[in-house]
């Protein structure tokens, strides 16, 4: 889940009364939770390998910490990857944070495309963290938006993946990526497993994965990029 708001708020307050239903997803996606919030000093991240449904700190953290933008992730670990705090999402660097649903395979395939200096930032052993570091590599060669675009299109055209659905923020933008392989939905997942939806209001935007009540939300089509300008409070959709 991702949000950007005109004012400082908590994520549950911004989402509204349906938020507890989203939290129910953590009973299946039980391999860790993490929250990234935007601030002038950079992304503030809290994460753990515990299930959100069973984590004593989850409610206190999510219901008390405020920001004008944030990301919340419930991890369902890919086969063979450890359930550890370091492997939980979000991943962050400076004012940039990212969450991911899916897998790029083989898990280590992106390593040769990551700048060596950025590769030293790696803390865990997931493909998702390597995906983030590859995006950072492309950002450092251009700018935030063009770097995200270039990384997504490179992975789409040159790598194998089940899904690179992802959400990013920095101090200027919130970006939601819908790019997944409908033939690679996990056996436990439903047909809409990789679908992403978003809701725009006068107060901002919220976007989230499927599996809970999202009445009135718009579908972000597969192979689409949603870019929300946090300063102008406007959004655009682009084909990937």
Q: What is the pLDDT of residues 78-118, one digit of tens each?
A: 999 999 999 999 999 999 999 999 999 999 999 999 999 99
What does the pLDDT read at residue 64?
Answer: 97
CATH for 14: 3.60.20.10
Is 4 a residue whose pLDDT tops 90? yes
Q: Domain containing 80: what range?
A: 2-239
Is 176 a residue whose pLDDT tops 80? yes
Overall average pLDDT of the 166-184 stretch: 97
SS3 at position 185: coil
Structural domains of the chain, count: 1
What does the pLDDT read at residue 60?
Answer: 94
pTM for the model stands at 0.97
Distance from C-alpha of 55 to C-alpha of 117, rounded to nearest angstrom: 34
Distance from C-alpha of 118 to C-alpha of 40, rounded to nearest angstrom: 22
What does the pLDDT read at residue 156?
Answer: 98
Overall average pLDDT of the 35-57 stretch: 95
SS3 at position 21: helix
Q: What is the pLDDT of residues 179-223, one digit of tens each?
A: 999 998 876 777 899 999 999 999 999 999 999 999 999 999 999
Rounded to whole angstroms, what are the CA distances from 176 to 100, 157, 207, 223, 240? 10, 19, 8, 11, 12
Angle, alpha carbons 208-153-87 (nearest 5°) = 55
Distance from C-alpha of 36 to C-alpha of 58, rounded to nearest angstrom: 13
SS3 at position 237: strand
Distance from C-alpha of 182 to C-alpha of 131, rounded to nearest angstrom: 20
What does the pLDDT read at residue 128?
Answer: 98
Distance from C-alpha of 108 to C-alpha of 104, rounded to nearest angstrom: 8
Tokens of 194: 């990789």
Phi, psi of 104 (to 5 degrees): -105, 120
SS3 at position 188: coil
First to last CA, the chain: 20
Question: Which residue stretches of 106-172 are H helix?
Answer: 116-119, 127-141, 144-158
Q: What is the pLDDT of residues 127-149, one digit of tens each?
A: 999 999 999 999 999 999 999 99
User: Do residues 134 and 216 make contact, with C-beta atoms less than 8 angstroms apart?
Assistant: no
């Amino acid at each position: 889940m991702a949000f950007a708001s005109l004012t400082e708020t908590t994520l549950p307050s911004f989402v509204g009364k349906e938020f507890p239903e989203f939290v129910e997803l953590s009973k299946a996606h039980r391999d860790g939770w993490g929250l990234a919030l935007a601030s002038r000093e950079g992304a503030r991240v809290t994460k753990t390998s515990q299930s959100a449904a069973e984590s004593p700190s989850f409610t206190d953290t999510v219901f008390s910490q405020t920001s004008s933008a944030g990301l919340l992730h419930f991890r369902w670990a890919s086969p063979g990857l450890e359930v550890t705090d370091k492997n939980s999402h979000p991943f962050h660097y400076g004012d940039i944070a990212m969450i991911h649903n899916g897998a790029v395979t083989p898990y280590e395939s992106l390593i040769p495309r990551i700048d060596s200096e950025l590769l030293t930032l790696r803390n865990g052993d997931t493909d998702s963290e390597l995906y983030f570091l590859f995006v950072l590599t492309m950002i450092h060669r251009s700018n935030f938006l063009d770097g995200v675009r270039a990384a997504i299109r490179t992975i789409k055209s040159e790598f194998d993946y089940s899904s690179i659905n992802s959400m990013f923020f920095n101090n200027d933008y919130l970006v939601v990526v819908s790019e997944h392989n409908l033939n690679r939905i996990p056996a436990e997942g439903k047909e809409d497993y990789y679908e992403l939806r978003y809701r725009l209001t006068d107060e901002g935007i919220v976007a989230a994965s499927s599996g809970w009540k999202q009445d009135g939300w718009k579908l972000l089509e597969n192979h689409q990029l949603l870019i929300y300008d946090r300063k102008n409070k406007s959004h655009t959709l682009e084909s990937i």
